[in-house]
Amino acid sequence: MQTIDRVPTGIPGLDGLIEGGFPRGRITLVTGSAGAGKTTFGIQFLWSGAVQHGEPGAFITLEEEALDLQQEMGRYGWDLKRLEEEQRFCIIQSPVPFEVAGVSVSMDDLLDAIHSKAVAIDAKRIVFDSVAALGLPYSDPVRLRRDLHRLCAMLRELGCTALLLTERPEEENRITRYDIEQFVAQGVIVLHLSRKYRGIEIRKMRGTKHDTNVHTVRITDKGIVVNPGEHPF
Ligand X SMILES: Nc1ncnc2c1ncn2[C@@H]1O[C@H](COP(=O)(O)OP(=O)(O)OP(=O)(O)O)[C@@H](O)[C@H]1O
Distance between CA atoms of 37 and 165, rounded to whole angstroms?
10
Helices assigned H by DSSP within 14-127: 38-53, 66-74, 80-85, 107-120
Q: Does 75 bind ligand X (CB under 6 A)?
A: yes
Determine if 39 is a binding residue for Mg ion (CB under 5 A): yes
Query: Candidates 36-44, 105-113, 116-124, 199-207 — which segment interacts with ligand X by CB under 6 A?
Result: 36-44
- Please pick, from the candidates 34, 142, 172, 233, the single residue that binds ligand X as defined by CB under 6 A: 34
- By 3-state DSSP, what share of the chain in percent is helix, strand and coil, each rounded to 5? 30, 30, 40
In the list 13, 23, 27, 38, the residue contacting ligand X (rule: CB under 6 A) is 38
Interaction of residue 225 with ligand X, rule CB under 6 A: no
Interface with ligand X (CB under 6 A), residue from 28, 31, 40, 166: 40
Closest contact distance (angstroms) between CB of 57 and ligand X is 16
Considering beta carbons, is residue 130 or 186 the nearer one to Mg ion? Answer: 130
Alpha-carbon distance of 168 to 201, in angstroms, equals: 13
User: Residue 92 binds what, of Mg ion, ligand X, none (CB under 5 to 8 Å, by partner type)?
Assistant: none
Q: Which residues pair with 98 in a beta bridge?
A: 105
Q: How far is the CB of 103 from ligand X (least distance, A)?
A: 21
Q: Which is nearer to ligand X, 34 or 142 (CB)?
A: 34
Q: Which listed range, 38-46, 116-124, 153-161, 202-210, lies at the site for ligand X (CB under 6 A)?
A: 38-46
Query: What is the spatial distance between Cα 221 and Cα 101, in angstroms, rounded to a whole number?
Result: 36
Smallest distance, Å, CB 191 to ligand X?
A: 7
CA distance 221 to 76: 5
Nearer to ligand X, 74 or 159 (CB): 74
- Residue 140 binds which of Mg ion, ligand X, none (CB < 5-8 A, kind-dependent): none
The single-letter DSSP state of residue 15 is G
Q: Is 126 in the site for ligand X (CB under 6 A)?
A: no
Alpha-carbon dihedral 200, 205, 207, 212, rounded to 10 degrees: 50
Rg (CA), the chain: 17
